[in-house]
Amino acid sequence: MKNILVIGSAGQIGSELTLELRRIYGGDNVVAGVRKTKPSEKLTSTGPCEVVDALNTDALVETVKKYKIDAIINMAAILSATGENNPMLAWDVNMNGLINVLEIAREYKMKQVLVPSSIAVFGPTTPVDNTPQETILKPTTMYGVTKVAGELLGDYYVKKYGLDVRGLRYPGIISHETEPGGGTTDYAVAIYYEAVKHNKYTCFVNEDTRLPMMYMPDCLKATLDLMHADFSKLEHHCDFNVGAMSFSVKELAESVKKHMPGFEIDYKPDERQAIADSWPNSVDDSLARKEWGWKPEFDLDAMTQDMLKEIKIKHEKGLI
């Protein structure tokens, strides 16, 4: 692939993935597709940005033609918590947007499409520890429903049309560049910002909530490793489990306290507790390790040290 379009470039993963792809493929060869959110100066100064809405087929085709796009990364999604407040919007963006991307990729003979999935595909009847890749997928959120359907759709385009479609089930992603929005796992980012700004945090899930999590450098590594894997060697395509760590909120708070002894946390669970409770504690990512050599690098304490260092810099600069 030579010319890549990242849809959802202003988002938590999209913003950093676009910059990383530009470092690899060259700034002019990676188009940042944004919708409402204004792209950061880092995005606008390192390569082309276009207003791209996966629901606007004509505009999407115009961008594909203008930049001779031969690979699309579709990071645009309505996440779990927002999706429960507006299920039809989640279905529209996550499914109708995806089908537009897949149809355009088929029609314009794209070299690759990346369709991210999520641990949200699992539900309360899924085995909760070391969740296998092949298992019960009965999610209880609209976001999870769209991610199961997205995996099936992506695999269909592989088998029916021979299109190179790939996807991985992201756990909760933690980063300090672009704050997430509308997710259930957002607490695992907010805790660091609140610790630096106020030395305390009121968490919207209880202290025993344990979820699979991943630091952004590992998220980028997993995404790029999958993108660059030999397609002919992949037995799976759009549904790879990828794990890095699994921790409870209590363990996360303890990790923060190692660096900020006075940090205090209290708990006021809200509607997101039920979503978190429907997801697994940890995942089995042995197939990703076998098929494309997945191996995470960051553990909880290494992540906490880096997150607090970077967020303190943003705070000292008055950026937060």
Cα 238 versus chain centre, distance: 14
Shortest distance in whole angstroms from residue 183 CB to ligand VAH: 3
Q: Which range of residues in 45-53, 181-189, 282-290, 295-303 is near ligand VAH by CB under 6 A? A: 181-189
Q: Which range of residues in 107-115, 168-176, 228-236, 284-292 is near ligand VAH by CB under 6 A? A: 168-176
**Given the complex with ligand VAH, which of 70 and 186 has the nearer CB atom?**
186
Under DSSP, the state recorded for 98 is H
Give the span between the Cα atoms of 202 and 309, in whole angstroms.
21
Q: Which range of residues in 87-95, 107-115, 183-191, 228-236 is near ligand VAH by CB under 6 A? A: 183-191
Active site residue 143: yes
User: Tokens representing 291?
Assistant: 């098929």
Q: Does 80 bind ligand VAH (CB under 6 A)?
A: yes
Q: Does 241 bind ligand VAH (CB under 6 A)?
A: no
Site string for ligand VAH, 89-128 (x = CB under 6 A): -----------------------------xxx--------
Q: How would DSSP label each residue in 19-73?
A: HHHHHHH-GGGEEEEESSSPPPHHHHTTS-EEE--TT-HHHHHHHHHHTT--EEE
Task: Select from 175, 209, 183 the least CA-distant residue to 314.
Answer: 175
Q: Which of residues 126-145 bind ligand VAH (CB under 6 A)?
A: 143
Under DSSP, the state recorded for 272 is H
Secondary structure class of 117 (helix, strand, coil) = strand
**Given the complex with ligand VAH, which of 26 and 181 has the nearer CB atom?**
181
Q: Does 79 bind ligand VAH (CB under 6 A)?
A: yes
Secondary structure class of 201 (helix, strand, coil) = strand
Q: Does 14 bind ligand VAH (CB under 6 A)?
A: no
**Given the complex with ligand VAH, which of 170 and 294 has the nearer CB atom?**
170
Binding footprint of ligand VAH on the chain (CB under 6 A): 79-80, 118-120, 143, 170-172, 180, 183-185
Q: Catalogue the active-site residues.
A: 143
